[in-house]
Amino acid sequence: MESTFSRRQILFMLLLSLGISNHVFIIPHLIQAAGRDSWFSILLGYVVLLGWSLILYLVLKSMRATTINDWLKDRIGKFGSWLVCGVMVLYLLILGILIIFDTTRNINIYLLPRTPNAVVVLSFVLVSYSAARSGLKTIVYMSTVLLPIVWLLGIGISIFTMNSKDYGIIHPFFVEGLGPNLHGGMIVFGGSIELLVLLLLQHKMSKPINYGTLFVLLTLLIGLVAGPTLGSLSAFGPAEAGNMRFPAFEQWRLVMIGDYISHVDFLAVFQLMAGSITRSALLLHLLSELITSRFPKYRQTVLGCCTALVSIPSLMQISDIKMQEATHRYFYTFAFIFGIAMLAALYIFSFIPKKKGGY
């Protein structure tokens, strides 16, 4: 019998998987876009996401324990199902490329600058592939163990760096203008619409998700954006924080425990690897499940191909500057449009009656 998971277990996994993006990778883009008013962009994004999440809940309520492939086939036919799932596969592939590129680049910059890039990439990808190959059960149980430790470390860094921060830097308010604030809000929204993965996970849950759980998950994810964003602004200022590649990581360099203990960056590495491996493994697992829903015997082959595909940009050593520029200019705009269009389409499909003989 296929394993099922509680809402709490899925919540832990998504907080660790989606949280690493919101907590680390979108922050430099957000600060570059909205500067001193990044906190207001987070608030704007949160308000819009609340309305978006309500529509997501209604779609999830319509699906219940049905897989997205079967749910779509019952309403728009096989071709329509392939088309929608194909777009979701493309989105997941882009997410996989970005997490592997950003994680391995972080390791190259801060930890292993003299280690060949291929060694770093292949080592990380091998661990992620192994976790994905073991199945969702491994990823979920790994998350329930790691998340409390990661959370405690996050609380610890906020406490130990309090003396290095000046929240007065955030004043004055609303100095950036409406355009940058809206751009920053779009980045927050685009970074959080990954909650769509619940469409691929709900049928594995022992009970369908309720809106209370979805609201808590969304609020915690937004909190994971707000915390390090405010911390980076108050510690480094908007200009300096906007120029940093990983401002959340840089905060660990401010930690001093007493007069003699410093350089505790290895704890940040634990946070980074816990979130990144969980995230990449989950994405690879969902890709293989989505592509081979009707052909499970090819799952391992598809998983290997997807792993190789998302690793290519990192192995090719594409310019980090060009990758970040493309991400800043195009990815969050694409994610914003994708999140609204995909959910609107699914919401419309939920009103289409099931075909006779459907599930």
CATH code: domain of residue 37: 1.10.4160.10
**Statement: residue 2 has pLDDT above 70:** no
240 in a structural domain = yes
**pLDDT at position 359, please?**
44
Q: Which of 86, 40, 25 is nearest to 327 (CA)?
A: 25
Categorize the per-residue pLDDT at 61 as very low, low, confident or very high, splitting at 50, 70 and 90.
very high
Q: Is 15 within a domain? A: yes
Is 355 inside any structural domain? no
Termini Cα distance of the chain: 19
Indicate the average pLDDT of the chain: 88
Confirm whether 198 is domain-assigned.
Answer: yes
Whether 48 is covered by a domain: the verdict is yes
Tokens 């990044």 belong to residue: 38
Please, are residues 336 and 190 in contact by the beta-carbon 8 Å criterion? yes
Looking at residue 46, its amino acid is Y
- 117 belongs to a structural domain: yes
The reply to whether 287 falls in a domain is: yes
**Structure pTM?**
0.92
Domain count, the chain: 1
Query: Which pLDDT tens digit goes with each residue over 291-322?
Result: 887 667 788 889 999 999 999 999 998 888 88
Residue type, 354: K
In a domain, 288, yes or no: yes
How much of the chain, in percent, has pLDDT values that exceed 90? 47
Tell me the residue range of the domain where 259 lies: 7-349
